[in-house]
Structure 1
Amino acid sequence: MFLKYEFHGTKLKELKKEVTSLLAFAPDPWATCKLIDLMQRLGVAYHFGEEIDEALNNVLKETVIGDLYTTSLLFRILREHAFPISTDVFNKFRGRDGKFVDSLRGDMAGLLNLYEASHLGMHGEDVMEEAKKFSAEHLKSSLGKIGSNLAFQVQQSLQVPLHWKMPRIEARTFIDVYQKDDSKNSILIELAKLDFNLVQAVHQQELKELAT
């Protein structure tokens, strides 16, 4: 095990340095949050705690207006890291009656992110309960009409939202999902695989030691 870490240690450091640069030079708040989301789901965010906090502090300094996908992602990532963000960011997606507008029902990626964000609502934030109900309803009704990769992610989310998942289990599943994404980042994929295998090697060695 120790030789394995020694052998791969240099490559691990190189990949971490490259990901740090990706985060530091992300072109806008949406790209920053998307990258952090990927890092979390791929199981490597724990390497970059200080860098993520610094990046999100910078996000808070900017006035940003986005679509349902990006707004929901921004809300979730900031809430997950205990940064302040109001549910008012969702007001532009609601009608005068307070309901989410029907025109959103065709935005599957946006609805998926809204559903995930809804689980970060706090007591008394009725808009997040409405968001959960609205997004879940339309995601379920559209499962047979969307691509297999997105459909798989929707099914997984409806079963167990990201906020409730075990990070290492999610990492193993999402590595396979993300590899099929045409826009995947090869650096993140390589780091995620290497990190997962090294962590797994540690756990296997610990089990052997406990068994002897």
Structure 2
Amino acid sequence: MSLQVSALLTSITVAKQDTNRRSANFHPSIWGDHFLSYACNSVESDDTKTLQELKDEIKKMLFSKVNRPIDKLGLIDEIQLLGVSYHFETEIDELLDQIYQLHQDSDSKDDNDTYISILLNFDYLDNMVIEFPVFRDSNGNFKASLMEDIQGLLSFYETTNLRGTEKTILDEALVFTTTHLEPIATELSTPLAAQVKHVLNQPLYRGLTRLEARHYMTIYQEESSHDQVLLTFAKLDYNILQKLHQKELSGIFK
């Protein structure tokens, strides 16, 4: 009997030693308790209220009357670049349908406006056919007038990066846009030049939406024509979402 008890105690001791030996190789997290500090990062009710008020103002801006549809498309493009378009998906779709219908019903169409209207929002207009021949002159070359609008040219470049593996007109357009955008990025010091340089390095669709939005905020706020309501809304939305992500991370870490 005593031999059995002795053997049992020995096996328990050995098992305990094995357990201690296995867990001795586990290293503590290099983050320490850093993420636990996020547990108290709750969204303030005042921030939520302010966000909703700003959101209502932007909705009014989207449907306010303007003389040129291109101005409205520019606003939509800014909303997308600032990473807050998910707040206005229904409104943007409705507005784009209206603008597209007006363009189709128009008797006189300006080539440059047509070009910008389509390309500024290429990622939204998946139901439209982009007729690149309207951008060519009688010799089959891209029109010189396309180089006059840098924002439009930048959007054209973004579009070319969505090309497939087959040889298409987008390959030719990529050479055209790159050739004319690269000098701008090196010669100018304006916020637009900074945006061009960033896009040439990494097209928008290849980046993470929130990181690209954070980068664009620094460019957008330097533009003299920026809308303060839209910029404040984007920054507040970014901060609120960051707090939510931090709190979720704290829960996962626990």
TM range (shorter): 0.7 to 0.9
Q: Is residue 80 of structure 2 the alignment partner of residue 80 of structure 1?
A: no
Is 1:48 paired with 2:91? no
One-letter amino acid of the counterpart of residue 197, structure 1: N
Structure 1 counterpart of 2:15: none
Identity among equivalent positions (%) equals 32
Could you tell me which amino acid in structure 2 is paired with residue 17 of structure 1?
D
Query: CA–CA distance in 2 between the matches of 1:103 and 1:62?
Result: 23
**Which 5+ residue runs of structure 2 have no aligned equivalent?**
1-39
The aligned residue for residue 7 of structure 1 is: 46
Structure number with greater Rg is 2
Letter in 1 for 2:52: K
Give yes or no for contact 2:41–2:246 (8 Å, CA) kept in 1: no
Q: How much has 1:38 moved relative to structure 2?
A: 0.6
Instruction: Say what the alpha-carbon RMSD is for the aligned residues.
Output: 2.5
Secondary structure of 1:61's aligned partner: helix
**Cα distance change, pair 188–60 in 1 and its aligned pair in 2 (3 A):** same
Higher helix share: 1
Structure 1 pair 122–51 and aligned structure 2 pair: CA distance change class (3 A): farther
TM-score (norm 1): 0.86
Q: Within the alignment, does 1:139 sit opposite 2:181 as a pair? A: yes
1:62-104 CA deviation, whole Å, 9 max, x = no partner? 1263464x5444223554124432332x434312342213454
Shift of residue 115 of structure 1?
0.9
Considering Cα pairs closer than 8 Å and 6+ residues apart, tell me whether 1 or 2 has the greater RCO: 2
Determine the C-alpha separation between the residues in 2 that align with 1:39 and 1:96.
36
Distance 1:191 1:117 in 2: 27
Which runs of structure 2 are paired with 1:158-197 in the superposition (5 Å)? Answer: 158-197=200-239
| Greater Cα offset, 180-189 or 17-26 | 17-26
- What are the superposed Cα offsets for residues 144-187 of structure 1, whole Å, 9 maximum, x if unpaired? 33233222111111111122221101110011110000000011
Structure 1 residues 126 and 10 mapped into 2: Cα distance closer, same or farther (>3 Å)? Answer: same
Q: Give CA deviations for 1:121-163 in whole Å, capped at 9, x if unaligned.
A: 5677833222211010121234333233222111111111122
Paired residue total: 210
Work out the CA distance in 2 between the residues paired with 1:141 and 1:77.
Answer: 21
Give me the TM-score of the superposition, normalised by structure 2. Answer: 0.73
- Does residue 70 of structure 2 align to residue 30 of structure 1? yes
Which stretch has the larger CA shift, 143-152 or 196-205? 143-152
CA distance in structure 1 between the partners assigned to 2:185 and 2:228 by the alignment: 29
Q: Which moved more, 1:100-109 or 1:199-208?
A: 100-109
